[in-house]
Amino acid sequence: MRTEQIDALVIGGGAAGMSAAVTISAAGFSAALVEREDELGGVLLQCIHNGFGLHEFKEELTGPEYAERWIHNVEESEVMVFCGTTVMEMNLLEDGRKECFGYSPQHGVVKFVTRTVVLTMGCRERNRGNVMIPGTRPAGVYTAGLAQRLVNMNGYIPGKEVVIVGSGDIGLIMARRMQWVGSKVHGVVEIQPYPSGLTRNISQCLNDFKIPLYLSHVVSKIYGKERVEAVDITPLKNGVPDHEQTFQIKCDTLLLSVGLIPENELSKQVGIELNPLTNGPTVDSMLMTSIEGVFSAGNVLHVHDLVDFVSAEARLAGEKVIDYLKGIKPKRELPIKPGANIRYINPTRINPDVDSEIYMRPLVVSNNARLKIMVNGEVVKQKKKPHVQPSEMIKLKISPKFFQDVELTPDSRVEVTLQDEP
Amino acid sequence: MSPDKNTKEMICIVCPIGCHLQVSTDGEEVKVTGNRCSRGEEYAREEMLSPKRVVTATCRLEDPQHPRLPVKTDAALPFEQIEALLAEVYSLSVKPPVKVGQVLIEDFAETGVNLVSSRTIQTQ
């Protein structure tokens, strides 16, 4: 069996993994990057639409172009790459190192003995079972990302008459894609009273094609024996289905874009504590999980809406891995908690002595909001937000300056709230 | 407000931020507010006068590992030309090697817009 003794094992070769591995390797530490598919790039390779890279490269790229830039960075680096390799097992060794086993047709079983691990496994799609749509079980029900892969990489068109459940970005992008391959999209059905995808995608993927968006509606039944034949759509009235208003749309395909779940099977297997608000690992200011030496970044940590933020977060994780390998640890950390109108904040602890970047998701739609950062209940910094909505993550820089006028004790708590100011 | 004054709200699609723009036209003059950058102003002006879109699609690729090649227009194409471009894209078949940025259709329908590959595929 091949054995690799390394400083860092990065699990998952998508946007996050490539960024973390390149960062660690550039500092002179040995890093291996393991990817389950036969090539690096992850989901970017099937996201052929543009809109990637505005923060990272200051230009607008398609998913494959964004991936290619990073694949190039990996190839230029000293990172050892193992494609077609799945990490199935992680063990904690007595000396603090981790032992991971990767399985691959090409390399056989590879044992990695590593000082640190970076979890960058990404996320997977929620499916029909997760949202419990009643009705028959015919062919023609796909998750939107699977349909995207079929169309853009394999060259199959999953259906001609399409209804989309959920207004997540993949669903919206697929609405346009299906129109552009000659299928007809009859509507997008969203349970929430607001769209869950980026506003620009409502505009360019639905409005351009006059595709109706049914907000506060659900698909209440699927018809068809062999193949989907129709779906029932029911509006919600005060959050309850109003069955008298149910209407039917004939279709042969139902695409589900009903959310993403961080893929943490490996994290659970090794006993890493997960945050119920994000379904990703709970991490401290170093993006380190509850197991020392195991870090996490990207969609496996919390689902992002911009890949640029994934690359940036993973770069930060890489920098923290470097600190950890050099024995640099924060002098102190404060817990940071979501307050009013904030669903979650990641990470859950911050180091008040250095600049840090936190990501959070709002619970409300507002065109005039104010973010308040509070320590021990006292506002230390305020920021105006001209537009917030739950589908758009808020990135916030926290500076040591915020804390200069407050007394920090081991019991101090940081809280961030969002206030709608009509 | 004069009768030829016209105000429209739109969402900027230039980047994923999705600024909420207020666009008002007063005769020839287009006024834009709510944009975070100059590209938003340009988008709003164009959207009022002649809407354009960048098109991304896939064409056939003669490679068993990668049956489809992602492609894009290197600039925004007038709305009414999109269908014709897609028809041409879907009749295209590319032999590897192909490089990212390589022009596959030059100056489509004299619009000055090229169709380019958005991925590099080496020969096996």
* Closest-CA distance of chain A to residue B23, Å: 15
Q: How far from A176 is each of A50, A154, A198, B86, CA to CA, in Å?
A: 13, 18, 14, 13
Per DSSP, the three-state class of A315 is: helix
For chain B, helix (H) and strand (E) counts, in that order, are: 2, 10
CA distance B71 to B73: 7
CB A180 to CB B54 under 8 A? no
Please list every residue in chain A whose beta carbon sits closer than 8 Å to the beta carbon of residue B53. Answer: 204, 208
Which strands make up the sheet holding A356-362, listed edge to edge?
A342-346, A356-362, A394-398
The alpha carbon dihedral of A73, A74, A76, A78 has a sign of positive
* Closest-CA distance of chain B to residue A149, Å: 11
The full DSSP string for A334-398 is EEEEE-TTEEEEESSEE-TTS-EEEEEEESS-BSSEEEEEEETTEEEEEEEES-B-TTS-EEEEE
Structure token digits, residue A344: 């979650």
CB B72 to CB A48 under 8 A? yes
Structure token digits, residue A214: 């049914």
Looking at residue A198, its pLDDT comes to 80
Integer Rg of chain B from CA: 19
Cis ω for the linkage preceding A347 (within 30 of 0) = yes
CB B16 to CB A54 under 8 A? yes
Reported as a single tens digit per residue, the pLDDT across A91-150 is 999 999 999 999 999 889 999 999 999 999 999 999 988 888 999 999 999 999 999 999
Q: Is the pLDDT of residue A203 over 80?
A: yes
* Closest-CA distance of chain A to residue B32, Å: 16
Looking at residue A296, its pLDDT comes to 98
First-to-last CA distance in chain A? Answer: 64
- What mean pLDDT value characterizes chain A? 95
Q: Is the pLDDT of residue A194 over 90?
A: no
CA distance A300 to A24: 19
Reported as a single tens digit per residue, the pLDDT across B5-59 is 678 888 887 776 678 889 988 777 888 998 888 888 988 888 888 889 999 999 9
* pLDDT band per the 50, 70, 90 thresholds, residue B1: very low
- Cα nearest neighbour of A153 on chain B: B68
Q: Is the pLDDT of residue A225 over 70?
A: yes
What are residue A338's DSSP bridge partners?
A416
The alpha carbon dihedral of A155, A208, A198, B40 has a sign of positive
Residue with the bigger pLDDT between B18 and A238: it is A238
**What average pLDDT does the segment A334-350 reach?**
95
- Cα nearest neighbour of A203 on chain B: B11
Structure token digits, residue A220: 């209440």
Please list every residue in chain A whose beta carbon sits closer than 8 Å to the beta carbon of residue B100. Answer: 64-65, 68
Looking at residue B124, its pLDDT comes to 67
Looking at residue A386, its pLDDT comes to 81
> In terms of C-beta distances under 8 Å and separation of at least 24 residues, what long-range contacts does B80-88 make, across chains too?
B81/B108, B81/B109, B81/B111, B82/A180, B82/B53, B82/B55, B84/B109, B85/B55, B85/B109, B85/B115, B86/A180, B86/B55, B86/B57, B88/B115
Question: Which of B15, B37, B53, B71 is best to mutate for the A interface (most A CBs within 10 A)?
Answer: B15
Residue A64 phi/psi, 5-degree rounding, is -60, -35
Say what the pTM is: 0.92
Residues 6+ apart with CB under 8 A from A155: B58, B60, B67, B68
Q: Is the pLDDT of residue A162 over 60?
A: yes
Looking at residue A176, its pLDDT comes to 97
Question: Which of B36, B52, B72, B116 is best to mutate for the A interface (most A CBs within 10 A)?
Answer: B72
- Which residue in A46, A305, A49 sits closest to A176, CA to CA? A49
DSSP-assigned letter for residue A246: -
CA distance B120 to B122: 6
CB A155 to CB B58 under 8 A? yes
Please list every residue in chain B whose beta carbon sits closer than 8 Å to the beta carbon of residue A176. Answer: none
ipTM exceeding cut-off 0.95 for this assembly = no
CB B72 to CB A50 under 8 A? yes
Q: Is the pLDDT of residue A217 over 50?
A: yes
Reported as a single tens digit per residue, the pLDDT across A273-311 is 999 999 999 999 999 999 999 999 999 999 998 999 999
Q: Is A353 within 8 Å of A400 (Cβ atoms)?
A: yes
What are residue B12's DSSP bridge partners?
none
| Pairing relationship of beta strands B56-61 and B52-53 according to DSSP bridges | unpaired
CA distance A148 to A205: 14
Looking at residue A131, its pLDDT comes to 85
Reported as a single tens digit per residue, the pLDDT across A361-382 is 999 888 789 999 999 889 999 9
* A93 interfacial to chain B (CB closer than 8 Å): no
* pLDDT band per the 50, 70, 90 thresholds, residue B2: very low
CA distance A243 to A55: 46
